[in-house]
Amino acid sequence: MFDLDAAITDWRMQLANRSMATEQIDELDTHLRDAVDSLTEQGFASPEEAFWLARRRLGEPQELVPEYHKVDGALVAKRRMLWMMLGFLAGGAVATALGGLAATGVSLAAAGGWSGSVSGLISVLVLGAGWLVIFMWGTRMLEPGRWPAWNARSGWAIAAGLLLITLMGQALSFANSLWLPRMMTAETYGHSLMWTTLGAQVIRVNLLLAVVIAVGVLSGALRGSSRPTSTAS
């Protein structure tokens, strides 16, 4: 059964994936829905046929987005730069926060009398689990309708949140750097540091591979997102 709302949501995502502003997508959404209603009320087509006919008249995403970019290219460039900077801040904030949590795990293990090797492995597990959760959350946020509507305050709010996360991670790391030498002998601390460093390098390599795979999958999805697909009625 054809779902008009789902079809329009997918169409909106195709426009958003090409960096069209939310305000522009909302405007086109209104025009599309008006055209669909007009066609169905006149009895010229079923809801599914009306959707595809209205979409074709309005223009496919690969045709609409370049036209809007010509009109407002500066805004698109600024938006892309903003998201790149926020992505850079997010990577640093997550790494700092997870580093602080991993150091806390080492401190707790040391306080419990665990060996340096076990403490280091606990640190690696914390880092690995944290990055896995972040990666899975990020992939879910790519689904249609997951992101809230963008507004002028969104960038400041996200940047402030990332700054707070970074400061908290730095505070945890600093506190543990003062605490650990008092809890461990030099040999135990060396074993813990060795396992933590080795595990962190392995996690970085795996993260790089995961990002490369994700970029490839997203690139393929973007190339195919503009191709109309037949929907069973």
Q: Which of 71, 101, 116 is the last residue of a domain?
A: 71
Give the structural domain span for 54: 4-71
What local confidence, expressed as pLDDT, does residue 232 receive? 41
Q: Which of 33, 49, 71 is the last residue of a domain?
A: 71
Task: Using 70 as the pLDDT threshold, list the residues of the chain that sit under it.
Answer: 18-19, 21, 44-45, 65-79, 141-155, 207, 214-215, 217-233
Q: Are residues 92 and 205 in the same domain?
A: yes
58 lies in some domain: yes
Tens-place pLDDT, residues 11-44: 888 887 766 767 778 888 888 888 888 888 887 6
What local confidence, expressed as pLDDT, does residue 228 receive? 46
Q: Are residues 25 and 86 in the same domain?
A: no
233 lies in some domain: no
Q: Are residues 49 and 90 in the same domain?
A: no
Instruction: Quote the CA–CA distance of 18 and 64 in Å, as a whole number.
Output: 10
What local confidence, expressed as pLDDT, does residue 19 receive? 65
Please state the domain count of the chain: 2
Q: Are residues 90 and 184 in the same domain?
A: yes
Q: Are residues 119 and 218 in the same domain?
A: yes
What local confidence, expressed as pLDDT, does residue 67 receive? 65
Q: Are residues 145 and 207 in the same domain?
A: yes
29 lies in some domain: yes
Q: Are residues 89 and 58 in the same domain?
A: no
